[in-house]
Amino acid sequence: MKKIILLTLVILSAAIIRLTAQDVRPFQKGDRIVFEGNSITHGGHYHSYVWLYYMTHFPDRRIEIFNCGIGGDVAGGMYKRLDSDVFSKHPTVIVLTFGMNDAGYYEYLQPDAKAQADKKVQQSYDDYQKIEKRLLAYTPAQKIMLTSPPFDETAKVKSPVFPGKNAAMLRIADFQEASAKKHGWGFIDLSRPMTAINEREQQRDSTFTLQGQGRIHPDNDGHLVMAYLILKKQGLAGKDVANVHIDAGNGKISRSDNCRISNLSATPAGIRFDYLANSLPFPIDTLVRGWGEIKAQSDALPYIPFMKEFDNERLAVAGLKSGSYVLKMDGEKIGTWSAEELAGGINLAEQRNTPEYRQALAIMTLNETRWEIEKKFRDYYWMEYSFLQDKGLLFHDDVAALDTIREAARENIFVRGNMQAYIEGHFKSVREAWKGEMKLLTDKIYAINKPVSHRVEITPARRPPFP
């Protein structure tokens, strides 16, 4: 009873003096960031989207991001693997997220649902107290508490609804926030903003959800929303790829943010200049990626102002004579706009045929390949932490472990689903090769992500270009 009273006071305190979130500094050059979580982290993209933003927007600020998610995990499991899975990576930033599994599932269909929810939340709180002590003792790293995305109880989809589950998850979010406030750690709330988007969009489409058809795991669009909320909390909204304003009437540059403009030749009949941005556009993925996913990253764009806040490569040209104009970069046609449209400004990041966008697409492709290898690592670690650990076979990687797995795979679909990755990864040499591949991919990304200068021409659509 005393524990329940204490937990209630913690939650009430967080609710009364709630901050929107604690400050979260942007990642700095050399940072090693661990995202420790459950299956939403294990098989999810949000952390790779965050890294891709840094790869493109801050090409000289190399960081390392590690996926430390384990499917099905709760705070108690995350505590057990702090040393071997988190601290072993020597992180300078630790992002901790839990709550979805901690709150339970089918308990909410039972007559004593409230009592069971209280028990689940209390257990999560008790387990987190042990994590908190270890995090306080691990002084090299900044700590960030990241709430779980919500469980969607309102979407009209076929998956079971567990009434009251999300309320229990919010209680977990409250003690996460209270802990962050107490210790001066970062705090990012994903639950409330994502719930707000779900409820807003469900007024137009009752089947809409960011949480996937199972109400739990965000689809690719949901993971971009998660990355958007993380980047926004880091204060990075409005950090333009570049922002260029040119007055063709007087041949002057009135604005050139985060870029360098040189060799400008401008008249009311057209302009040309050399353009070197300090950043690359964030490439928006239009492919559906991941097992069981049905939506692409690009599907999130109608719901969040991502392009305006995080992918703005603005080019505005005032003073052109009325008419239509062709924009070329390095001699290749990008598109045609009217003088009025150019005066209002266009977002080059929306043009997927620019040379810098294609450069960014190569980075995205390499990053996806890196993500796929890391996902195999996490499947291997799932077998270690979620199955073999309780059987006293953690990291034995021997014949006895393989026999135990093969036997369990006959009936356990989760063991069966992760078995192939374990069969490959239980060889140390294979894991070393995976690490080597990931390093090569990351090295290549940071070798090719440096912006280069491009020749820009804007000429009348029906007149010859500059000689």
For the stretch 228-237, pLDDT in tens is 999 999 999 9
Identify whether the C-beta of residue 93 lies closer than 8 Å to the C-beta of residue 141: yes
* 414's tokens: 């989760």
* 282's tokens: 């964030």
Residue 368 and residue 447 in one domain: yes
Residue 114 and residue 261 in one domain: no
Q: Identify the helix (H) or strand (E) that includes residue 343.
A: helix 339-344
In a domain, 422, yes or no: yes
Residue 317 and residue 376 in one domain: yes
For the CA atoms of 295, 300, 302, 306, what is the dihedral angle to 10 degrees? -160
Does the pLDDT at position 103 exceed 90?
yes
In a domain, 284, yes or no: no
- End position of a domain, from candidates 203, 233, 263: 233
- Letter string b/e over residues 186-202, b meaning 16 or more CB atoms within 10 A of that residue's CB: bbbbbbebbbebbeebb
**Residue range 178-225, pLDDT digits in tens:** 999 999 999 999 999 999 999 999 999 999 999 999 999 999 999 999
Residue 293 binned pLDDT confidence (cut-offs 50, 70, 90):
confident
Distance of CA 370 to the CA centre of its chain: 15
How many domains is the chain partitioned into structurally? 2
From CA 464, how far away is CA 462, in angstroms rounded?
7
Q: Under 8 Å CB-to-CB from 372, ≥6 apart: which residues?
A: none
Residue 269 and residue 144 in one domain: no
In a domain, 81, yes or no: yes
Residue 257 and residue 142 in one domain: no
**Listed residue (368, 325, 327) closest to 350, CA to CA:** 327
How many beta carbons lie within 10 A of that of residue 144, not counting itself?
24
- Letter string b/e over residues 450-463, b meaning 16 or more CB atoms within 10 A of that residue's CB: ebeebebbbbbeee
Contacts 24+ apart (CB under 8 A), 244-253: 244/275, 244/314, 244/315, 244/316, 245/314, 245/316, 245/317, 245/318, 245/345, 246/271, 246/273, 246/316, 246/317, 246/318, 247/318, 247/319, 248/317, 248/318, 248/319, 248/320, 249/318, 249/319, 250/319
- End position of a domain, from candidates 233, 261, 295: 233
Q: Which amino acid is at 43?
A: G
**Residue range 360-370, pLDDT digits in tens:** 999 999 999 99
In a domain, 297, yes or no: no
Average pLDDT over residues 244-260: 96
From CA 432, how far away is CA 415, in angstroms rounded?
23
From CA 43, how far away is CA 52, in angstroms rounded?
17
Does the pLDDT at position 411 exceed 60?
yes
Q: What is the CATH number of the domain that holds 54?
A: 3.40.50.1110
Quote the domain boundaries for residue 211.
2-233
Does the pLDDT at position 131 exceed 90?
yes
Residue 344 and residue 323 in one domain: yes
* 179's tokens: 């802990």
Residue 152 and residue 169 in one domain: yes
Does the pLDDT at position 94 exceed 50?
yes
- Mean pLDDT over the full length of the chain: 94
In a domain, 295, yes or no: no
In a domain, 423, yes or no: yes
- End position of a domain, from candidates 177, 200, 233: 233
Distances (CA, A) of 194 to 147, 181, 302, 332, 370: 11, 22, 14, 40, 27
Residue 227 and residue 96 in one domain: yes
Count the residues in the chain. Answer: 467
Cα Rg, the chain, nearest whole Å: 25
Q: What is the DSSP letter of 297?
A: G
Q: Under 8 Å CB-to-CB from 391, ≥6 apart: which residues?
A: 404
**Residue range 12-51, pLDDT digits in tens:** 444 433 434 457 999 999 999 999 999 999 999 999 999 9
Residue 208 and residue 342 in one domain: no
In a domain, 141, yes or no: yes
**Listed residue (380, 370, 369, 358) closest to 431, CA to CA:** 380
Residue 184 and residue 246 in one domain: no
Residue 181 and residue 321 in one domain: no
Amino acid 20: pLDDT: 42
Average pLDDT over residues 95-124: 97
**Listed residue (137, 142, 360) closest to 234, CA to CA:** 142
| pTM (two decimals) | 0.93
In a domain, 296, yes or no: no
Residue 111 and residue 181 in one domain: yes
Average pLDDT over residues 320-336: 97
